C-alpha cells in the first residue's frame, strides 16, 4: 500500500449552499479519490476540524453506526455532540473507496484540566505564541489552537480543559476550552515523574499524593510510579492550589497514538527528537521511521525539524510507525483581506481573498469573530492561515487553507505574508502569493532590507486597477 495525502486526494465540490454548510461544520461537500491511501480498517488520530459526522485529518467519518454516537471518555465527553473543533480525537474505523470513512469507535481524553496560571499572551506582531501553566506544566498556544473560553481570552485562575501534544519543552495546545461539564475528578495532568517520595511524587513543580483509594486503570501498577515514568493523573486539590490527591493514575495519554502490529494509522503532531542520520523522529511518543520511499507532501524533506507540526500516514511494524507519507500541517502563508469576486475558471472550493487564491479542504478549520454565525458563503472579510502550494513549474498555485477566521467587518486594510516571488524595482511591482502589488517610492524605500528576504509581509489595499502596497517588511 502506498498512501497519498488524504487532504490531497479529497477534492471538494462546494456550491454556495455547501459553503454555508462548511461554515457550520468545518468540512463538507462531495469527495473524489485518486489512488493510494488507507484501505480497509485503520486508525486516525488528530484534531477535529468539523462536524456533520466527524472530520479528522481531512477525512469525513460517518458515525451513524455508533450507538448514540458515543465517545469513549471519562472526562465528561460522552457523545459526538460534546466534542469541539480542535480536540484531539482517536477514530477507529473503516475507509471507503472514495476516501471517506466509517467510524467504529470514537475515543477522547483531556490532556489537562485545571486552573490557568502564569499567562503570557501571544504577540501577533512578533509572531510568538502564547503560553500558560496548568498544574506545573508549561503549555504553548498559537493561531492553530482553538480557543473556546469565557470572554475569549485566558485569565488567571480560569478553569479549562486542554487537548495538547507533548513537545520537547512542554506541550502545544490544539484546543483550550472552559470547563462547562462536571467531572468526578476535576483535575487532570500528565507528564514525566521527576521525583518520588514515600507517599507522593512530583511532576514538574506539582506534587501528587497517592493513598489506598487510588485506582490504577489499565496496565499501570503502583510499582510503575518511578522517576522518569510518563503518567496521567486525575484527582482533586488537597487544598486549593496545593498538592493533588490522586483518584486515578494510568500511563500517559500516548496510548491514544499507539497501534498494534500491522495496523494502518495516520496521526498528527509536532516532530520531536529528530535524528536526520537515522531517519527517525518521535511523534506523540511513537517512533517514526522514514526512508527514500517516504513521500514528503507540501514541503521538502530537508525542512523537517523538531517542533514542526506534521501528519504521518503509515503502518506499524515492530512497534514503530513506518511512514509512507509525511505531510506538512503547519502554515507558511497568511492573508487577511476582503472576499472578492471569484477568479475566472476557479473551482467551487476556491475563494478569492484579497487577490489570493485560497482552497478549502476537509481539514480546513473555520472559526468566527465574536461568535458571529455568518455562513462562509456570505462572509465579507476573512483571515486565512495555510500552506503555499506550487504547480509543477514551481510557481505559486494556491494557498491550502488550514484555518479560516470570519471577521465581523471589512475595514479596507489588507495584509498578506508569503514568499517574495518577484520584485521589479523599475516598475515598482512585487508578487507575493500570486498577487501583483504596486508600491511607490516611499513605501519601497521605507524598509529597503525586505528586498533581500525570502518571506515578506505586505500591507496593501484594493485600488481601481489592482492592489497598492501601504507597507512592506521582512518576515524571515
* Structure confidence at residue 27 as a pLDDT band (50, 70, 90): very low
* Structure confidence at residue 321 as a pLDDT band (50, 70, 90): very high
SS3 for 370-429 is HHCCCCHHHCCEEEEEEEEEECCCCCEEEEEEEEEEECCCCCCCEEEEEEEEEEECCCCE
CA contacts within 13 A on the Cβ side of 75: 27
End-to-end CA distance of the chain: 39
Q: How far apart are alpha carbons 384 and 343 in whole angstroms?
A: 17
Which single residue is written with the C-alpha cell 508578487? Answer: 431
The answer on pLDDT for 72 being more than 90 is yes
The residue with greater pLDDT, 23 or 274, is 274
* Structure confidence at residue 247 as a pLDDT band (50, 70, 90): very high
Q: How far apart are alpha carbons 473 and 456 in whole angstroms?
A: 6
The answer on pLDDT for 312 being more than 90 is yes
* Structure confidence at residue 447 as a pLDDT band (50, 70, 90): low
What is the percent of the chain where pLDDT is above 70? 88
pLDDT value of residue 449: 77
In tens, the pLDDT along 186-212 reads: 999 999 999 999 889 999 999 999 877
CA contacts within 13 A on the Cβ side of 328: 22
Q: How far apart are alpha carbons 361 and 99 in whole angstroms?
A: 13
DSSP per position, 206-220: EEEE--TT-B--TT-
Which single residue is written with the C-alpha cell 485566558? Answer: 154
Report the pLDDT averaged over residues 335-340. 95
Strands 130-134 and 435-438: unpaired
The answer on pLDDT for 25 being more than 50 is no
CA contacts within 13 A on the Cβ side of 292: 0
Strands 244-251 and 206-209: parallel
Helix (H, G, I), strand (E, B), or coil: what is residue 21?
Answer: helix
Predicted model pTM = 0.83
Report the pLDDT averaged over residues 261-281. 92
Alpha helices in 49-204 (DSSP H): none
Report residue 143 CA to chain centroid gap: 9
CA contacts within 13 A on the Cβ side of 431: 9
* Structure confidence at residue 371 as a pLDDT band (50, 70, 90): low
In tens, the pLDDT along 121-161 reads: 888 777 788 999 999 999 999 888 999 999 888 999 999 99
The answer on pLDDT for 414 being more than 70 is yes
* Structure confidence at residue 295 as a pLDDT band (50, 70, 90): very high
Amino acid at each position: 500500500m502506498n498512501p497519498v495525502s488524504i487532504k490531497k486526494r479529497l477534492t471538494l465540490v462546494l456550491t454556495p449552499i455547501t459553503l454555508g454548510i462548511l461554515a457550520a461544520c468545518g468540512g463538507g461537500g462531495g469527495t473524489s479519490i485518486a489512488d493510494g491511501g488507507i484501505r480497509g480498517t485503520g486508525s486516525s488520530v488528530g484534531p477535529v476540524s468539523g462536524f456533520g459526522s466527524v472530520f479528522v485529518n481531512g477525512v469525513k467519518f460517518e458515525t451513524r453506526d455508533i450507538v448514540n454516537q458515543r465517545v469513549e471518555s471519562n472526562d465528561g465527553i460522552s457523545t459526538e455532540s460534546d466534542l469541539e473543533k480542535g480536540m484531539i480525537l482517536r477514530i477507529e474505523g473503516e475507509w471507503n473507496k472514495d476516501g471517506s470513512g466509517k467510524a467504529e469507535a470514537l475515543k477522547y481524553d483531556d490532556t489537562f484540566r485545571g486552573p490557568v496560571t502564569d499567562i503570557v499572551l501571544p504577540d501577533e506582531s512578533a509572531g510568538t505564541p502564547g503560553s500558560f501553566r496548568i498544574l506545573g506544566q508549561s503549555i504553548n498556544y498559537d493561531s492553530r489552537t482553538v480557543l473556546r473560553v469565557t470572554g475569549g481570552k485566558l485569565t488567571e485562575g480560569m478553569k479549562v480543559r486542554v487537548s495538547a501534544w507533548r513537545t520537547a519543552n512542554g506541550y502545544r495546545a490544539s484546543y483550550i476550552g472552559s470547563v462547562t461539564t462536571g467531572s468526578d475528578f476535576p483535575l487532570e495532568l500528565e507528564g514525566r515523574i521527576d521525583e518520588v517520595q514515600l507517599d507522593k511524587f512530583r511532576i514538574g513543580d506539582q506534587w501528587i499524593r497517592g493513598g489506598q483509594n487510588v485506582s490504577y486503570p489499565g496496565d499501570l501498577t503502583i510499582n510503575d510510579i518511578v522517576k522518569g515514568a510518563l503518567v496521567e493523573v486525575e484527582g482533586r486539590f488537597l487544598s486549593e492550589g496545593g498538592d493533588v490527591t490522586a483518584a486515578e493514575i494510568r500511563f500517559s495519554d500516548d496510548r491514544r497514538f499507539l497501534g498494534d502490529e500491522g495496523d494502518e494509522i495516520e496521526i498528527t503532531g509536532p516532530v520531536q527528537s529528530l535524528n536526520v542520520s537515522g531517519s527517525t523522529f518521535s511523534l506523540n511518543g511513537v517512533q517514526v521511521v522514514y526512508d527514500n520511499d517516504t513521500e514528503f507532501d507540501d514541503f521538502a524533506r530537508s525542512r523537517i525539524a523538531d517542533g514542526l507540526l506534521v501528519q504521518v500516514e503509515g503502518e506499524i511494524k515492530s512497534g514503530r510507525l513506518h511512514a509512507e507519507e509525511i505531510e506538512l500541517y503547519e502554515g507558511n502563508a497568511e492573508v487577511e483581506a476582503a472576499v472578492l469576486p471569484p477568479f475566472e475558471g476557479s473551482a467551487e472550493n476556491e475563494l478569492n481573498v484579497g487577490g489570493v487564491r485560497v482552497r478549502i479542504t476537509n481539514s480546513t478549520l473555520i472559526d468566527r469573530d465574536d461568535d458571529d454565525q455568518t455562513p462562509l458563503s456570505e462572509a465579507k472579510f476573512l483571515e486565512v492561515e495555510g500552506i503555499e502550494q506550487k504547480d509543477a513549474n514551481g510557481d505559486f498555485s494556491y494557498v491550502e487553507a488550514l484555518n479560516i477566521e470570519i471577521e465581523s467587518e471589512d475595514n479596507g486594510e489588507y495584509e498578506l505574508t508569503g514568499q517574495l516571488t518577484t520584485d521589479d524595482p523599475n516598475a515598482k511591482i512585487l508578487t507575493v502569493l500570486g498577487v501583483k502589488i504596486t508600491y511607490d517610492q516611499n513605501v519601497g524605500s521605507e524598509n529597503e532590507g525586505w528586498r533581500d528576504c525570502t518571506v515578506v509581509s505586505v500591507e496593501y489595499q484594493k485600488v481601481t486597477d489592482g492592489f497598492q502596497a501601504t507597507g512592506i517588511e521582512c518576515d524571515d
